[in-house]
Amino acid sequence: MTDTHKTEYQLKMLMKYNRDGSPDRQRARFQNLTRCINHLQQNRGYGKRYKLEKFGRKEVSRLVNDWKEQKLSHRTIANRMVDIRWMASKHGHAERIPSNKDIGLALRKNMASHGIDKSAPLDSGKLEQLDQREQLITQLRHEFGLRTAEACKFSHAFATKDSPNSISLKGSWCKGGRPRTIPIVNDTQRQLLSQIQAHQDANSEKSMIPKNQSFKAYYRDYNEARHALGIAGHGLRHKWAQNRFEQLSGGIKCPLAGGKEYASLSPAEKAAWDKAAGQVNQELGHGQGRQDITSTYIGSR
């Protein structure tokens, strides 16, 4: 970039040639980074042609100080920092961005909500009050631990084309653009997949989103419908993770489901615990090295 390019244009070009993640993730990243840049320009005296490649510790410190004064939650600030680190890495300067610990953000294990069971069962009576499409989406979330967006974008033809024993999720469906595979382990899941195939074939649809609606519009409508009936959101995913952990560990309940603390397990049980937690982390789509997120679902070591 030269001095003649405005900062906004620099960001647009950076996004244009670095299309990491799904379209929705790219859009959210652009909006977040634009918000950061506008804040620096409007409140911290940065020029309209500030070079993004110079972004570093000083800018982070100023933003974080202002966000804390605005009483933003640590989680909100941490989410914004993810995109700032992405931007710095694209300029080859990831080391300039301080860690969350260095800027005074609480670690997940130190947050007040950490260690609280957030799982929720699926109420069959409430489920039956949804229309067929909404029921199938909710069951996908319940049976495979999918995020709501992943369930809405789910294509039976794509998900089942590689193996009869697992479903494959396309990166563009998933948070962070990370594709993943989830094993099919019971007949309930197989029956659900057959129902989804029949539904999509009957409606000539390639996903669970109606042909006459955008993802954003239907995502809102689906959430409004389940909220109206009191059907759990992310709690279904937490419940799935706990059940899946118990399956993979050979019957060991995770701490948040009433199981023993990790420290009290035998060496053999600890080995089974570690292996199961790693597999659950992968199947949830949390990415390598993000066991801290998975621990909010099953409990920490």
The tens digit of pLDDT for each residue in 105-164 reads 765 554 444 568 889 999 999 999 999 999 999 999 999 999 999 999 999 999 999 999
Superfamily of domain 124-231: Intergrase catalytic core (1.10.443.10)
pLDDT of residue 109: 54
Report whether pLDDT(2) > 50: no
Which amino acid appears at position 295 of this protein? S
* CB contact set of 248 (below 8 Å; sequence gap of 6+): 275, 276, 279, 280
31-86: per-residue pLDDT in tens?
999 999 999 999 999 999 999 999 999 999 999 999 988 988 887 888 899 999 99
What distance in Å separates the CA atoms of residue 37 and residue 85, rounded to the nearest whole number? 14
Domain ranges within the chain, ordered by starting residue = 7-106, 124-231, 236-298
Does an H or E element contain 200, and which?
A: helix 187-202
247 or 74: whose pLDDT is higher? Answer: 247
Q: How far apart are CA 64 and CA 58, in angstroms?
A: 10
Tokens linked to 168: 């494959």
What does each C-alpha distance from 62 to 70, 76, 246, 263 come to in angstroms? 12, 16, 45, 41
Find the helix or strand (DSSP H, E) in which 166 lies: strand 166-169
Whole-angstrom Cα distance, residue 206 to residue 211? Answer: 9
C-alpha dihedral sign at 65, 66, 71, 73: negative
Q: How far apart are the C-alpha atoms of 51 and 67, rounded to whole Å?
A: 22
Span 96-102, mean pLDDT?
Answer: 87
Q: Where are the alpha helices (DSSP H) in 249-289?
A: 267-284
> pLDDT tens-digit profile of 259-282?
999 899 999 999 999 999 999 999
Q: Evaluate whether 151 touches 200 at the Cβ level (below 8 Å).
A: no
**Model confidence band, residue 1 (pLDDT cutoffs 50, 70, 90):** very low
Provide φ and ψ at 51, rounded to 5°.
-80, 120
Average pLDDT (276-298) is 84
